[in-house]
Structure 1
Amino acid sequence: MNQESASATRVAIVLGADGRIGNAICHALGADGLTTVPCARDAAALEKLRSELVAAGADCPRAIAVDATDDVALAEAVAQAASLGDLAVAVNNVGRGHQPTPLADMPLAEFDSVMAVTFRSVAVAVREEVRAMRAASGPRAIVMVSSTAGVRGAPGMAAYAAAKHAIVGLTRTTALDEARAGIRVNAVAPGPIESGTIMKQDESVRERVGGYVPLGRMGTPTEVAAAVAWLASPAAAYVTGTVLTVDGGRTI
């Protein structure tokens, strides 16, 4: 490795950065010294996040508004991030849920939409991220955000669970494919977390959900972000192809 590549800027791209978990992941990676590039559909939320990251002392030269289901735009977003230095970390926090509905009662258009956003967009992203990382040097890591629905059943959530299970398969297979290239690929599987639609529920509902968890509470976005940051860091240099549940013991 020459001196120029050794000192190259280490860049992290975070897809799905406009939600509470994505926001926390960006802050965690920025605090770890990575040049962080948040990406999501909500341009206003991204600019607010970028301002917050800069105010916190993180290097965030740009935020990229992108529809993850647009293959061309997604590839361009990865290319823009990689143009800033060595693409060292990629976090794929993309997905959408659906109303609990048995598969037999779900319109196929809804099923296709969930799969397109929650799995296919991630597969396309990984394809582009791996290509960029093969041209980089130093430690490189991809972290997927799956779900406990990706390692167990979830009543009425066939499309979402299938997509999240597919992400687990993609994680393990890509880890095998890219191990000799020095690219580690892992996933986190969050359980009940204080984010998304659950935060629109009454506090009593959130407390009830937390009561089902062995640790007696819901998790926080910061706790998910800490797991992601660890998997992306040199501290996890011998970890690849794993799925780390962040669920307060709910899965067991």
Structure 2
Amino acid sequence: MNELQNKVAIITGAGSGIGRAAALLFAQQGAKVVVSDIQEEHGKAVVGEIEKAGGTALFVRADSGKPEDHQALVAQTLDKWGALHIAVNNAGIGGPLAPLAEYPLDGWQKVIDINLSGVFWGMRYQIPAMKEGGSIVNIASILGQAGTKFSPAYVAAKHGVVGLTKAAALEVAEKGIRINSVGPGYIKTPLLEVLDEATLQALVGMHPIGRLGTSEEVAELILWLASDRSSFVTGSYYPIDGGYLAQ
């Protein structure tokens, strides 16, 4: 079943993790995928995977912390395929870990630029390019609903993504464009590779389901929100967290 046949989709941060999984799944479902990432080698590798499997993809290097890169990303998409139906604003970083009163100012700014402003800038250029039936999925986090110590920038940014998604969804609902956010729990992605085994096991223990999630599981939820199967869903926040927020 090709749920996204003839659809054009932009996915930021698509060189690894959740973005990569979504790109591969979207292509499998018939979409033309614009793989965007700041890491050119990783992004081009994902395009290669898609093309090897018989799909269609284009790599566009973009820094999600720069508004001009978002503008260029949408412009190149329209130049290549003449339309934009789906956007997944996924690019993000973890940022420094430190108490708020000692948090590095440059670290705060970088996290906000990429994780929050990057979603704003993405939608700012994506929305005008979309016609009725378009869908935008913003990747937030369980930390868009809950807090944690020593990550004030990340928590603030992800809370902001949830609120920004609701505000934007209300603005464009009458135009037939839907905007939703997803809140992954701790997922086995490169963001967690810097942690030691004891810390990883502690994270596992926070999830009642007894394990971390996978990028492929999150991609399935993103696909549903991007597809016509979720045609009456907008302005919503969907956790995918192994029970984390139910506690």
1:175 Cα shift?
Answer: 0.6
> Alignment partner for residue 104 of structure 2, among 107, 115, 119?
107
1:204 Cα shift?
Answer: 5.1
Structure 1 residue 73 corresponds to structure 2 residue 69: yes
1:231 Cα shift?
Answer: 0.5
The corresponding residue for 1:240 is: 234
The corresponding residue for 2:115 is: 118
CA distance in structure 2 between the partners assigned to 1:97 and 1:47 by the alignment: 23
Structure 1 residue 190 corresponds to structure 2 residue 184: yes
CA contact (8 A) 2:6 2:30 kept: no
1:207 Cα shift?
Answer: 3.4
1:183 Cα shift?
Answer: 0.4
CA distance in structure 2 between the partners assigned to 1:32 and 1:9 by the alignment: 10
CA distance in structure 2 between the partners assigned to 1:27 and 1:91 by the alignment: 13
SS of 1:98's partner is coil
After superposition, give the CA deviation of every residue in 1:121-177 in whole Å (9 maximum; x if it has no partner).
Answer: 2101100000101xx35x210000000111111111111110111100110011100
After superposition, give the CA deviation of every residue in 1:29-78 in whole Å (9 maximum; x if it has no partner).
Answer: 11121110010101111111101001122211x20011122222220111
1:9 Cα shift?
Answer: 4.1
The corresponding residue for 1:172 is: 166
After superposition, give the CA deviation of every residue in 1:171-225 in whole Å (9 maximum; x if it has no partner).
Answer: 0011100000000000100001001232344455433321221111000000011
Question: Which sections of structure 2, spanning at least 5 residues, go unmatched?
Answer: none
TM-score by structure 1 length? 0.91
CA contact (8 A) 1:176 1:241 kept: yes
CA contact (8 A) 2:93 2:191 kept: no
Root-mean-square deviation (Å): 1.5
Q: How does 1:88-167 map to 2 (within 5 A)?
A: 88-133=85-130, 136-137=131-132, 139-167=133-161
CA contact (8 A) 2:13 2:90 kept: yes
CA distance in structure 2 between the partners assigned to 1:65 and 1:27 by the alignment: 18
The answer to which of 8-17 and 35-44 deviates more is: 8-17
TM-score by structure 2 length? 0.93
CA distance in structure 2 between the partners assigned to 1:113 and 1:212 by the alignment: 27
Give identity over the alignment, percent.
34
Amino acid aligned to 1:78: V
Mark the CA change 1:96 to 1:143 in structure 2 (over 3 Å): closer, same or farther. same
Amino acid aligned to 2:143: A
SS of 2:86's partner is strand
Structure 1 residue 45 corresponds to structure 2 residue 42: yes
Mark the CA change 1:108 to 1:203 in structure 2 (over 3 Å): closer, same or farther. closer
**Count of residue correspondences:** 241
Structure 1 residue 207 corresponds to structure 2 residue 201: yes
CA contact (8 A) 1:10 1:85 kept: no
CA distance in structure 2 between the partners assigned to 1:197 and 1:240 by the alignment: 28
SS of 1:193's partner is coil
